[in-house]
Structure 1
Amino acid sequence: MTPSFRAASRATLVAAAALALAAGLSPATSATSAADTSSRPAPTTVLDVRGLEQGDPPAVAWSERRSGRTVIHGTGGTRTPAPNRLDQFAPMGSGHVIQTIGAGGARTRWIGADGTPGPREWRTGYGLAVSAQGKAVAFSGRAGKVWSIDEAGDRVLSFNPVPISGKGRAVALFGEDCKESATSTGCSIYVNGPNRAYYTSSHGIVDRPPHLRLTSTGRGRWIGGITSLSDMGSCSAMLRSWNVKWRTCDNQLSDISPDNRHVLGTPAYADGFGPGTLDLLTTADGSVARSFTSARNGRSATYFDEVWEDAGHVLVVTYQADRWAVVRLGVDGSMEYAVAPRRGTMDARAPFRLQTR
C-alpha cells in the first residue's frame, strides 16, 4: 500500500514522528484546570457501511480516479482533471492547490479549473493548511520554508522559515488574507517538524505554540495537538486562545467543525491498515457526542480522509468488504453513501479523496 490516504488521514499525521519521538518525549505540562476526558461513555454507532441508502453528493470538493484518470469534482458541478498521484487538494480561487506524491516525495502547485498548471511547483512536505473560510492555503518545504497562496490563485507569499531540519508539514492556517494591509491583519501558519511544532506569521514572528509538541488541527480560537508520545499511544490537548481547555489520551485530534462545536478524534495510536473507530468530540470540553466504533466480529469499515462536510455531518472515505465508498456520518449517528461503493482492494490506493479543510 502506498503512503497515501492523506498519509492515512490528517489525524495520523504524526504516525511516522511517533516512532522517532516515542523514546524521547515526556508529557507536556497542562493547565491544572484542564478537564481529563478519559474513559467517557458515549452514544455509539457501529461503522458497518454495507447496504446504506444513497444520499446527496458531497458538499465539499472530492476527487475520483477511474480508468487511469483523476478528476476533482467541485461543489458547483465542475470537473477538473488532475494528476493520478493526487494526494491532497483545496479549492483556491478559480482552481485548486494540489499536492501529489511520488518517488521524490510531495510536490505542490496551483492548477486552473481546466487542469492547466500554474507557473511554479514546489517540493514540499506532506500536508496543506487551509484557512477557515478557504481563502488561503499554505505549505512547507525544505529547511522549514513556508509559502501561502491566496484566492487570486497566482499570488504566492513567502514567510520566515521555521527552525526545523528536512521538510515541514503545514497543519493549520489562521487568517484569511496573508498579506497585511489596511483591511487585513495577516495570518499565522502552524508547521510540524520531525519533533516540534512551530508557527510563522506575516508579522515576521516565528515561535513555538505553548503546551503542544506537535499540532494536528486549528480553527478560530481553537488549536489542538499532541503533548506526548510513547510506545503505548499518545496524549493530546485542545487549546482556546492558547490556554489548555482539556486533554485526552484516548484520541488524536483531527478536523474541527465549521461552527467550532465539534472536533474529530481518531485513535490515540495509529497502527495497521487504517482506523476503525472515530469519535465526534465536543470542542468546549472534550466530551464524546457520538462514537463510530468497530464491530466485535470484524464486520465494519476502515476509514480515511475524515473531513467535516457541514456543522452536523462528517465525510469519510471507507473500505469494507472489497469496496471503497464516501460515507456521510451524522452527529446523530446516521450514515448514508455520499458516493456509491466501488469494488477495489486494500492493496491499491483509494479511488476517492476529500478536500483538505
Structure 2
Amino acid sequence: MRLPSMTIVRTAVLAAATLALGSALAASPAPSSYAGTETPTTRAAARTLLDVSDLDKGAPPSIAWSERRSGRTVIHGTDGSTTPVSNRLGQFAPMGSGYVVQTRAGRLTRWVGADGTPGRGEWRTGYGLAVSPQGQVVAFAGRAGRVWTIDQAGDRVFRFNRVPVTGPARAVAVTGENCQEGEGDPGFGCSIAVNGPRRAFYTSSHGIVDTVPHLRQTTTGRGRWLGGITSVSDFGTCSAMMRDWRVRWRTCDNVLSDISTDNRHVLGTPAYADGFGPQVLDILSTADGTVVRTFAASRDGSTATYFDEVWEDAAHVLVVTYQDGEWAVVRLGVDGSMEYAVAPRRGSIDTRSPFHLQTR
C-alpha cells in the first residue's frame, strides 16, 4: 500500500470544511421479492397521517437550522447563536467554531466563522456536503473528480486523489473522524464516498481510489453502514444497504436517506420521485430493512409534503414541511408523535422554503 497521496492546504480560518465523504452509502429501493442476501420482512408498519396543520409547539431543533426572513438568511446554532450567511444558501454543516456552507446557484463552498466572516478559501463544487458520524470531518467534491475535506483541526483542508469522473462529482459520506494518517486517536485516516454522473467511487487518505461495490450511486452512509441505488428504471429505483462492504438487504420500495445517530434506523423516501415533493416517509430498520414506521399523506393530497429529512437524535427526525400555504419544521418521532420544532410561516410553493436543516 502506498503512502497517502494528498496535499494539505493551509487556510487562515478555524475549522472550515466542505463535505464529501463517501464510504458509507445509502441504499435505494428494491422489491421484497428481490433475490439477494437478505430481503426486508413483509409486515404492516405502524402508520401516521402526515397532517401538520395543528400541532403542539415543542422544543426548538437540537441541530443547526437556517431561516430566511426579510431578505436576510441566518443559521441558528444549538447554543442560541445566529450566523449571517448568503441568501443563496443550499447546504451547511457545523465545523469548528463556524460552518461549512454551500450556495445553491453557483455552488460555491467555503467556511465561515460564527460571526459570518468568510475564510480565505473558496471552492467551486458539485452539489452536496458529506459529514463524518461525529461531525469532525466535512467533505465536498468538484469538477474532474476533485475531492476535499476540512477536519476538526479547523485550519486545514486536505485534497485527495481524484475519482475518475469528467463532470461534477458529489460527496455523499465520510468514514473516519481524522483524515491525517497516523494522527490522534483513532489515527486511521478517512474515506469519502463520491458519486459521479454514472458511478459511485471512493477515495481515501491512504491514496486509494476505487469503485464502490454493488452500488451505482451512494445515497447515505454512517460508520460501517453504506447504502445506495443499485438500478434505475422508468418505474423507480432499487437499492441496497451494506455493512462492511457486504450487502445486508435490498429494497425497491425506498431510496435510503439519513441513518440515525445510533445506526438502528434509516430513512426511506419514495423510490419514484414525482410532483412537488415526497408525501411518504418510511423509517426502516438498518439491520434488515423492515419498515417500523410510516408517515404518509392522505390520498386526496390535502396533507403535508416534506423536505430536508434529518435525524435530530436516535428517536426523532426533523423535516421541513409544506401544507396549506405554510412552511414549518416538524419533529417526527419513531413512536409516531409529531410536533412543531419551528412554528409555521406563510409561504408559497412558487418560492423556495425559508428553512433548511444542517447536513449530518
Q: Does TM, scored on the shorter chain, surpass 0.5?
A: yes
Structure 2 match to 1:33: 37
Structure 1 match to 2:9: none
Which of 294-303 and 212-221 deviates more? Answer: 294-303
Structure-2 change in CA distance of 1:116 and 1:14 (3 Å):
farther
Cα offset, 1:154, TM superposition = 2.3
Structure 1 match to 2:149: 148
Q: Aligned letter for 1:122?
A: W
Secondary structure of the corresponding residue to residue 143 of structure 1: helix
Higher relative contact order at CA 8 Å, sep ≥6: structure 1 or structure 2?
2
Cα offset, 1:40, TM superposition = 4.2
2: distance between equivalents of 1:36 and 1:286? 5
Q: Is the 1:217–1:224 contact (alpha carbons within 8 Å) kept by the matching residues of 2? A: yes
Q: Aligned letter for 1:282?
A: S
Residues 192-238 of structure 1: per-residue CA shift (max 9 Å, x gap)? 00010000000000001111110000011100000000010000000
Structure 2 match to 1:4: none
Q: Aligned letter for 2:256?
A: L
Q: Is the 1:118–1:154 contact (alpha carbons within 8 Å) kept by the matching residues of 2? A: no
Q: Aligned letter for 1:209?
A: V
Cα offset, 1:31, TM superposition = 7.9
Residues 18-65 of structure 1: per-residue CA shift (max 9 Å, x gap)? xxxxxxxxx9xx98332245x642110010000100000000000000
Q: Is the 1:31–1:244 contact (alpha carbons within 8 Å) kept by the matching residues of 2? A: no
Q: Which runs of 5+ in 1 are unaligned?
A: 1-12, 16-26
Cα offset, 1:182, TM superposition = 4.1
Structure 2 match to 1:342: 345
Tell me, yes or no, if structure 1 residue 227 matches structure 2 residue 223: no
Query: What TM-score, normalized by structure 2, do the two folds share?
Result: 0.89
Q: Aligned letter for 1:176?
A: E
Residues 139-189 of structure 1: per-residue CA shift (max 9 Å, x gap)? 000100000001233210000000011110000000011111243111000
Structure 2 match to 1:206: 209
| Aligned mate of 2:249, from 242, 246, 271 | 246
2: distance between equivalents of 1:141 and 1:354? 22
1: distance between equivalents of 2:99 and 2:35? 40
Q: Is the 2:27–2:241 contact (alpha carbons within 8 Å) kept by the matching residues of 1? A: no
Residues 252-271 of structure 1: per-residue CA shift (max 9 Å, x gap)? 00000000000000000111
2: distance between equivalents of 1:286 and 1:47? 22
Secondary structure of the corresponding residue to residue 107 of structure 2: strand
Q: Is the 1:324–1:351 contact (alpha carbons within 8 Å) kept by the matching residues of 2? A: yes
- Deviating above 3 A after TM superposition, structure 1's stretches of 4 or more consecutive aligned residues are none
Structure 2 match to 1:20: none
Which of 310-319 and 151-160 deviates more? Answer: 151-160
Secondary structure of the corresponding residue to residue 314 of structure 1: strand
Q: Is the 1:261–1:283 contact (alpha carbons within 8 Å) kept by the matching residues of 2? A: yes
1: distance between equivalents of 2:99 and 2:113? 7
Structure-2 change in CA distance of 1:312 and 1:14 (3 Å):
closer
Q: Is the 1:137–1:148 contact (alpha carbons within 8 Å) kept by the matching residues of 2? A: yes
Number of equivalences: 330
1: distance between equivalents of 2:27 and 2:273? 9
Structure 2 match to 1:267: 270
Q: Is the 1:65–1:71 contact (alpha carbons within 8 Å) kept by the matching residues of 2? A: yes
Q: Is the 1:31–1:243 contact (alpha carbons within 8 Å) kept by the matching residues of 2? A: no
RMSD: 1.8
Q: Aligned letter for 1:168?
A: A
| Aligned mate of 2:318, from 305, 312, 315 | 315
Secondary structure of the corresponding residue to residue 35 of structure 1: coil
Pairs within 5 Å for 1:50-65: 50-65=53-68
Structure 1 match to 2:302: 299
Percent identity, aligned pairs only, is 70
Structure 2 match to 1:162: 163
Q: Aligned letter for 1:35?
A: T
| Aligned mate of 2:220, from 213, 217, 222 | 217
Q: Is the 1:148–1:157 contact (alpha carbons within 8 Å) kept by the matching residues of 2? A: yes
| Aligned mate of 2:197, from 194, 203, 227 | 194
2: distance between equivalents of 1:55 and 1:354? 17
Query: What TM-score, normalized by structure 1, do the two folds share?
Result: 0.90
| Aligned mate of 1:279, from 275, 279, 282 | 282
Pairs within 5 Å for 1:123-134: 123-134=124-135
Residues 82-141 of structure 1: per-residue CA shift (max 9 Å, x gap)? 000001000000000000021xx3110000010000001100000000000000100000
2: distance between equivalents of 1:172 and 1:201? 12
Q: Aligned letter for 1:205?
A: I
1: distance between equivalents of 2:55 and 2:358? 23
Q: Which runs of 5+ in 2 are unaligned?
A: 1-25
Structure 1 match to 2:16: none
Residues 319-350 of structure 1: per-residue CA shift (max 9 Å, x gap)? 00000000000000000000000000000010
Cα offset, 1:297, TM superposition = 2.5
Structure 1 match to 2:90: 87
2: distance between equivalents of 1:74 and 1:314? 18
Structure 1 match to 2:4: none
